[in-house]
Amino acid sequence: MINGLHIEPTNICTLKCGGCGRTQFIEQWPQHWRNHSLDIDVLLNFLDIDLAGKDIALCGNYGDPIYHPDFIEFVRRLKQRGAHLTIVTNGSYKTREWWQELTALLDSDDTVRFSVDGMPDTFTQYRINADWESIQVGMQVVAQAQCHSEWKCIAFAFNQADLDSIKKLSEDIGIKQFRMELSERFDERLQHLAPDTALIHKRYFPQVDWKTNKSDRRVEPRCGGGKEHFITADGHYSSCCYLVDHRFYYKTPFGKNKPEYSIQNQTLSQLLQRPKTVKFYQNIEENPLCQFTCPPLNG
């Protein structure tokens, strides 16, 4: 079932967010890091399905999509195929003219979602190296465009008292929707940023339990809706973005057999018919990493 896609156009980013796999990978193995950006021709040859009306999220695990070296053309080609795009970005370091060129390609079926976790003087406590001045320019242009605009704010200890003020600022700029998001990524590195328990995602607690007990349990797969088919910046397929995190990847069939999941020289339809792919989806409840990433949230 293919109802949508999640594509990581590039793993390039200007930020150093503490919970990001990119930041953690580079800190541990800087000598092994390589920048990658998808070739749009290779991608579109791989996508042998009708993209008209399909929801495509341009986001990723490691990069910010707007830093793809030819992102405007990337968007143009996907829109020519009729896709509905959601661009998830921090929005730093692009000019007003760049944002105007981008938004001219977008319509009311598309969304630009800015990830900014706090007020201008606090959000860089997590979004390290972000630049409010250029983000605000981008927000102003997007707010006036035909596309839908969103401000996504993860709840942290440093911003939980300011959520109403952040929402008010988003409204003042003209952003159409404010999304307060709960995170479960408060591991040892981020414990000092954890907000009150009510502002932590419910996945956090069964994940902590799983780390301790490693017991089999039901899975409520987020890929069940058919929108999580993930393509990495270096051109490989996975069932979702969570399993491509370097902490999990080489324990999954997608990482163990990585060359078989390249988007070069095959199509999405062919890849989904591979016996190993079919077996993965048929036995997803038995996959321990899926048990960790997608625990049941209601008992």
pLDDT score recorded for residue 203: 85
pLDDT score recorded for residue 141: 98
4-195+224-290 homologous superfamily? Aldolase class I (3.20.20.70)
pLDDT score recorded for residue 215: 66
pLDDT score recorded for residue 1: 81
User: Angle of helix 96-103 relative to helix 71-80, nearest 10 degrees?
Assistant: 10
pLDDT score recorded for residue 50: 96
Q: pLDDT 10s per residue in the chain (299 long)?
A: 899 999 999 999 999 998 898 999 999 999 999 999 999 999 999 999 999 999 999 998 899 999 999 999 999 999 999 999 999 999 999 999 999 999 999 999 999 999 999 999 999 999 999 999 999 999 999 999 999 999 999 999 999 999 999 999 999 999 999 999 999 888 888 899 999 999 999 988 888 777 777 666 788 888 888 889 999 999 999 999 999 998 889 988 999 999 999 999 999 999 999 999 999 999 888 888 888 888 887 75
pLDDT score recorded for residue 88: 98
- From CA 66, how far away is CA 133, in angstroms rounded? 17
Nearest to 87 by CA among 145, 155, 9, 35: 9
pTM here? 0.95
pLDDT score recorded for residue 214: 66
Domain boundaries, the chain: 4-195+224-290
pLDDT score recorded for residue 210: 75
Cα distance from N-terminal residue to C-terminal residue, the chain: 27
Nearest to 38 by CA among 83, 5, 8, 79: 8
